[in-house]
A and B are shown apart, each in its own frame.
Chain A
Amino acid sequence: MKRPLRVKVNGTEYDRSVDVRSTLADFLREDLDLTGTHVGCEHGVCGACTVLLDGEPIRACLMLAVQANEREVGTIEGVAPSEEELHPLQEAFWAKHGLQCGYCTPGIIMSACAFLKEHPAPTDGEIREMLAGHLCRCTGYHFIVEAIAEAARALSGSGPA
C-alpha cells in the first residue's frame, strides 16, 4: 500500500510515493539516499536515527514516512553551513574526540542542535541527561560531554575555554 508524500528535507522539497510501512528512517536512507541518519535498534532506544521534525528532535524509526507529509525534516547532511565548513557542534566533536566509530554521532548531533537552542549554557548534568537518550558504546561519553560543552561556548560566542 503506497501513498504520496511531500516532504522538505534539509531545505529540498521531495514528492515521492512511499509504502505506508516505511519508517521515516528507512525513507531517508533508502529513498533519498541520505544515509547519514543511522539506524541502530529500530525501536526508539538507541537514538542513532534522531532527526529534526519541524525543528524538534524525534526518532526517525518511530514515525511512519507518510506521517512526515507536508512537514520539514532536518538530518545530519543539512547541519554544516557549506561543503567547506563544519557546524560548531561537528567542529567540537572533531576537536574534542567526541566520536570513535561514529555510528551514534549523527543522532547525538541532531539532538544537541535542538538542545543547545533551549539550553545555550548547559551544565554537564543537563548534557548528560540529554545524552541518556543516546547510546554510544565506544567513547564512555566523557568526550561527548566535553564536545557539547565546547560547542555551547562556541555558539554563544564566548569562544573555546
Chain B
Amino acid sequence: MKPPPFEYVVASSAADVVEALRRYGDEAKVLAGGQSLIPMLALRLVRPSALVDINGCSDLDGLAESGGTLTVGALVRQRALEKWAAAHSPLFVEALGWVAHAPIRNRGTVVGSLVHADPASELPALLLCLDGAIVARRKGGERVIPADKLYLAPLTTSLESDEVATAARFTLPPEGAGWGFAEVARRHGDFALVGCAAALALDGAGAVSHARLGFFGVGGTPVRGAPGEATLMGQPPTAARVAEAAKAAAAALSPDGDIHASAGYRKLVAATLAERVLTAALSRCRRTE
C-alpha cells in the first residue's frame, strides 16, 4: 500500500465538495484525475487526512464555447479537450500534445493541471497567455480568479483551502489570429525545460492588434511575456521587430537553473522559442478589417 492513510470522501455534486472542504479545510485534497496527486501520495510528499473524490460530480463536467470564451468544467479530461480542439483550436491540440502521454491525458483533468500549478506544465501558461481565469467556489459564494492572480509560487495558487476550482475559462484568440507553440524537453512528454505559446492578430493595415506571449519552465510560475507583447502592439510585425520582441520578453525572465539546464541556457532557449512561436503565429494570421 503506497499512499498514507486517508479518509475517502465521495462527492456527487459541487455542493458536496464545498461542504467537505468546509469540514476538512486544508486537511483535505480534491481528487480529480489524480495524475499528480496520486504520485505525490505514493511518494508521501503529501499526507492529506481526507481525499474528496469529485469524479462522480456530473455538475462539474462539461466543455462549452460561447462568445469567444471556452469554459472547461473541473472534470473535463485533458483528452476530452484535445478531442474538442481537433475541430476548433490547433493551438490547444499542439499544447495538449506536449502534456505527458495519452494514458495520462485520458485521466488527467484540465482544471486539475491548472491548479496543481507546476511551473513546467503547459496548461497554466496557456491560461495566462489566453487571459484565462479559474472559477472558485466555497460554502456560500463563488469568485473568479484571473490567471495573473492565480499563480503565486511552484505548486501554489491563490485558491483558499476551503475553495474548489469548478471550472476554467480561456479567452480564445480573436477571429483571424495566428498561434504558435513550442517546447524543449529531454524527451516528448517529459517536463518542459522551457516552453512558449503565442497568439497574434493583425488589423486591416497589417499592424499587430492583439499580441499574447506566455512562457513556462522559466521560473516559479508561468510568465507572461509582456515586454514582447508591448514591443509588437500597434506595429507592423517585421522580422526585425519580432526578433526584438522575443529578445525583450526573454530578457525580463529570471529562470532557475537545475540539473537539467542552467538559468542562462533556459534564457537563451526562451528567446529562441519566443521568436519561433511569434514567427509561426504571424505566418498563421489572417488580416481582418
Contact = CB atoms under 8 A, between A and B. Distances in A.
Interface in B243-257: none
Interface residues of A, number: 31
Interface in B69-104: 79, 100-104
Interface string B3-24: 1011110000000000000000
Interface residues on B, range: 20 to 34
A22 interface: yes
A-side binding surface: helix, strand, loop or mixed? mixed
Contact of B107 (A3, A23, A59): A59
A26 interface: yes
Interface stretch (B37-45, B195-203, B207-215): B37-45
A20 B101 contact: no
B38 A115 contact: no
B102 A1 contact: no
Contact of B43 (A43, A64, A111): A43
B62 to A, nearest CB: 19
Contacts, number: 82
A53 interface: yes
A42 B34 CA distance: 13
A63 B102 CA distance: 15
A110 to B, nearest CB: 9
B64 interface: no
A61 interface: yes
B272 interface: no
A48 to B, nearest CB: 11
A132 interface: yes
A63 B103 contact: no
B76 to A, nearest CB: 15
Given A43-B43, A67-B53, A133-B104, A62 B2 contact: no
Contact of A64 (B38, B39, B100, B102): B38
Closest 8 CB pairs of A and B: A133-B101, A43-B39, A20-B8, A57-B103, A132-B188, A56-B106, A62-B38, A132-B189
